[in-house]
Amino acid sequence: MQKKTFSNITERIKSIQKIKGLTKKEIKILLTPKRISRAKIKVRNHIFPAWRIVFNDALGPGKGGVRFHPETNEDEVMSLAFWMMIKDSLAEIPYGGAKGGVRFNPKKVSSQTLETVSRKFIDAFYKVLGEDKDIPAPDVYTNSQIMAWMLDEYEKKTGHHEPGMITGKPLELQGCSLRANATAKGGFIVMKEMVKEFNLNKRSVKIAVQGFGNAGANLAKMLHGNGFKIVSVSDSRGGVYKKDGLDINEVIKIKKQFGSVTNYSKGEKISNQSLLKLPVDILILAALENQITEKNASDVKAKYIMEIANGPITYQADKILFSKNITVVPDVLANSGGVIVSYFEWCQNKTGNILDKDYLEKLLRKKLTNSWKKVISLYKGNKKQIDLRTAAYIIAIERVLAAEKLRGHI
């Protein structure tokens, strides 16, 4: 994780300041976190740094995942909290942005240690969490079981049931049936809108997917099942490429059996960096931050990029891609299916009213297509002189600042 992630955000906001004529006070509000909570989680002889950051709560309580990763740090968590603010505002759901993280490697510890870290995270931060304060969810290397441990610990600490304090829970603990693959499903909905908008032929386009975790693998499976050709996929150990297209269902089986897509024998083994340079039509980024930078942006051959990961393209790289007429569908739009479904889960938890799955799927589609239309309309209205990310940021920022103004903060 590069230390300059938040400085990238600062540069983006300052470029929008020039476009929209934002005041210094507005910039300060947009770039200053509301609350940074820090802790050190001690497990036997190990100490793991931990953070929970609420970036802005003008539109509602904080909302955002908790990641367990050996390289996470405060700069990363703060950046992710900022992106959640933008994402939630763009989707028009009543949340501010938040994020959490613990710096350790969950792949190298026992299930018992994983549970201990999960519970101690809540022990450290439960006073700043709650269904009307700040609502965590799964993120990188966290899942529904970890959310279950966190919920249980929170309820022990507070002495009452409050399922709405966390989302992405198991169904038995009042989770939502759409949540497991919501990010991928949202990405698939946005992908179909993009294909329609830019008159792409799904039978002839070639797609590469960097990142084959929950979101990347599920999205690849949906695209494959819908007739799209996936020619390359990768995970943390490397990738595989086959010009005529991969059998995604078989790749998923191999990944489950052996732990990596690199064990798929019917394609050429490639590196993650090589995947980014493949001659494909659509590149899906579903891994981690800062994958395309000013160092490799000029090597990208794809005409369209969809960000399923958070922040995979740096500010300088964005400018290079824009100059090459490469269209980037930004993370704050493309991966917002996860937080939209988290909102559905939260609503159910607060009201006790379990909503029909078909109804929720239609509502998810409606919210994402509405977001797409707003962003594409502003993009076209500016004669394509701005990119889709700038359009999305402008829409989201205006909503946050309107709320701050109504509260009397501006």
Residue the block writes with tokens 């509301």: 34
- Positions marked catalytic: 99
Cβ atoms 245, 203 nearer than 8 A? no
Which residue type is seen at 317? A
